[in-house]
Structure 1
C-alpha cells in the first residue's frame, strides 16, 4: 500500500461518498480512500446498479451511476438551487433507451443523452474530489 496523498484544501476534509441510506458514507481524504470507497460501491452496484453521491466539504455534490457499462453524472451545488448539471455522452453511447439506477430505495431513470462510459465518469468524480469543480474533460449540460 502506497502513501495516502491527501485530497484536502486548507486541512479540511475533501469528500464523503455515500450510496446506502442506512449509513453515513465513507470519508475520503486521499486517493487510497477514494479507490477503496469506490471499490466497495462498485461491489454493491454489481448486485444492483446504483447512484453514489460524492459530497465535498463545501456541500457541492456530484452523483455517479455505478454497476453498468455506462454511467450518468449529476451535479447539484451546495445551495441546492439551480443551475444543475448532467453529463452529456457521446452520440455512440447515448443512442437508445434511458438508463436506470437504484437511488436510496427507488429506481431513477436518466435520459440516454446523459450516458457516458463508466471509466470516464469515475475519472470525472476523481477530478471533482481533487479540484472541487466539474471536470473540463466531460461534456456538461444544464438541466
Structure 2
C-alpha cells in the first residue's frame, strides 16, 4: 500500500499505522493538502488539514463508486466550509468536513483492511 501526498508529489510506502498517521498529520491545508492511500481495489483520499478539518472519500476500484465520510456532528449543517485539498481551495458542505479523530479512524481501518470503516457514516456520491 502506498500513500501519495501532493507536497512535491511524494509517494511513500506505508509499512505501519505510524507511517499512515505521519502522512495524515503532515496535511496542513497549505503545503500538503491531500493524501491518497491506494491498493488494487481502490483508494482512500483525505484532503484538507486546515482548521483540523478533512474531506475523506473512499473510491471503489476504477472509479466505480465514490463514498464520502459524513461528520455526524454537522450532518444537518448547511453551511459551506473552505478547505484546500489537492492544492485547490474549495467550499465543501459542513456535513462532509470531519475532524482529525474521524479521519484518523477511517485511515487506520483502511490501512489494515483496505476497505471503508463499517462503523463510520458514509454517503455514496451519485
Superposed structure 1 runs of 4+ greater than 6 Å apart: none
Segments of structure 2 that go 5 or more residues without pairing to the other structure are none
Using the size of structure 2 for normalisation, the TM-score is: 0.79
Distance 1:78 1:21 in 2: 24
> Of the candidates 81, 99, 105, which is equivalent to residue 123 of structure 1?
105
What CA deviation, in whole Å up to 9, does each residue of 1:10-49 have, x standing for no partner?
A: xxxxx2222216324221021232233333x23xx16457
Using the size of structure 1 for normalisation, the TM-score is: 0.71
Segments of structure 1 that go 5 or more residues without pairing to the other structure are 1-14
Distance 2:117 2:9 in 1: 28
Select the structure of larger CA radius of gyration.
1
Q: Give the 3-state SS of the residue equivalent to 1:109 in structure 2.
A: strand
Aligned length: 123
> Of the candidates 22, 30, 33, which is equivalent to residue 50 of structure 1?
33
Alignment correspondent of 1:3: none
**RMSD between superposed Cα atoms in Å:** 2.3
* Residue 57 of structure 2 corresponds to residue 74 of structure 1: yes
